[in-house]
Structures are given as structure tokens and as C-alpha cells.
């Protein structure tokens, strides 16, 4: 059974509660990124590039039986971890739910505040791109 967005968000928030120190959170994010399967190089092109990120992020999406699946990669470790978190929450969900979520976990794990504004913009751009994909299939 596919878990709901809210369920996965709760899981992530719980995992991050284990860390007091911001550096440990980063270490965890980076590890999550390392586990993200590599994106097929044919998708690592400008067509799939997320605009507004200082580091490069490529996002690819495909639909299967009403669910939307995401694959992603980045040239920096931290961004890759961040996009991996988004993929974990949103991949396999119904486009409508993807469009409706406000991704509350980002604030709860205190991610946005500690990322520079440029990086935050990158985060917003990733979310915008994922929602744009969802919009196509809704």
C-alpha cells in the first residue's frame, strides 16, 4: 500500500527529531541523497533542469496507473539529499494530492530556515516543478 503524503511527512519529521545539531541533520540529508538512485543520464539535460537553483537539479516524472513517479539527481550532495526527500514524499502519489499538499514537513524539520535564500529559492523551484508535472496529469 502506498503511504499517504501526510504519513511519509510524519515519518520524516520523526527521523529528524533524533538530531539536536544542525550538522547532524545535514549529514542525514546527505546520506539520504547518496541512496537516491542515479538518474538516467538522458534526463540530465537542460530540459529537465530546475531553474533557480545555484546547484544543478534534474527532475524527471512519469505516470503509471494514475500515480506520478519522480526521479531526480543533483551535482551537489546537499541538494541531492533535499530533492531525495521530496521524491520520497511525492513519488507514487496521485497528481491531485501532489497539487494539494503544502509540504509542511519542510518547516517542521527546520530545513528552510537554515538554507540560504538562494538555496531556499532552489527548494521552492523544485516544488514548483514537481507540482507542474502533477498539473499535467491531474
Partner 1 sequence: MNSFIRNQFPILHQNVNGKPLIYFDNAATSQKPLAVINAIKDYYEHYNSNIHRGAHHLAQIATEKYEDARKTIAQHINASEQEINFVRGTTEAVNLVAISYGRKFIKEGDEIIVSEMEHHSNIVPWQMLCEEKGATLRVIPITDSGEIIFEEYLKLLSEKTKIVSIAYISNALGTIHPVKEVISEAHKVGAVVFIDGAQALPHKKIDVKELDCDFLGFSGHKVFAGTGIGILYGKEILLEAMNPYMGGGEMIKTVSFAGTTYNDLPYKFEAGTPHIEGGISLGAAFTYINELGLDNISVYEDELLEYGTSRFFEVEGLRLVGTAKEKASVISFLVDDIHPYDLGVLLNEQGIAIRTGHHCCQPLMDRLKIEGTCRASFAFYNTKEEIDATVSALKRAVKILS
| Rounded Cα distance, 107 and 113, in Å | 8
Query: Would you count residue 19 as binding partner 1 (CB under 8 A)?
Result: no
Q: Among 4, 44, 55, 124, which residue interacts with partner 1 (rule: CB under 8 A)?
A: 55
Alpha helices per DSSP H over the chain: 5-17, 22-35, 77-90, 95-100, 105-108, 117-137
Q: Please state, in angstroms and rounded to a whole number, the distance separating the CA atoms of residues 97 and 28.
A: 27
Size (the chain), residues: 138
- Residue of 76, 120, 124, 125 interacting with partner 1 (CB under 8 A): 76
Which of 53, 82, 86, 130 is an active site residue? 53
Cβ at position 36, least distance to partner 1 in Å: 15
**Is there binding between residue 1 and partner 1 (CB under 8 A)?**
no
The yes-or-no answer on residue 45 being catalytic is: no
Question: Would you count residue 110 as binding partner 1 (CB under 8 A)?
Answer: no
Shortest gap between Cβ of 115 and partner 1 (angstroms)? Answer: 8
Asked if 55 and 79 count as a contact pair (C-beta separation under 8 A), the reply is yes
Does 41 help bind partner 1 (rule: CB under 8 A)? no
Amino acid at each position: 500500500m502506498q503511504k499517504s503524503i501526510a504519513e511519509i511527512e510524519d515519518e520524516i519529521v520523526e527521523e529528524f527529531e533524533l538530531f539536536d545539531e544542525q550538522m547532524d541533520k545535514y549529514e542525514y540529508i546527505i546520506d539520504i541523497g547518496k541512496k537516491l538512485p542515479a538518474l538516467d543520464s538522458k534526463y540530465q539535460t537542460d530540459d529537465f533542469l530546475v531553474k533557480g537553483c545555484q546547484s544543478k537539479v534534474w527532475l524527471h516524472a512519469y505516470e503509471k496507473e494514475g500515480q506520478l513517479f519522480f526521479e531526480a539527481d543533483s551535482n551537489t550532495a546537499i541538494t541531492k539529499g533535499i530533492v531525495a526527500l521530496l521524491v520520497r514524499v511525492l513519488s507514487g502519489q496521485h497528481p491531485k494530492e501532489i497539487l494539494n499538499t503544502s509540504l509542511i514537513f519542510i518547516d517542521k524539520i527546520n530545513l528552510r530556515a537554515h538554507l540560504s535564500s538562494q538555496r531556499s529559492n532552489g527548494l521552492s523551484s523544485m516544488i514548483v516543478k514537481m507540482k507542474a508535472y502533477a498539473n499535467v496529469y491531474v
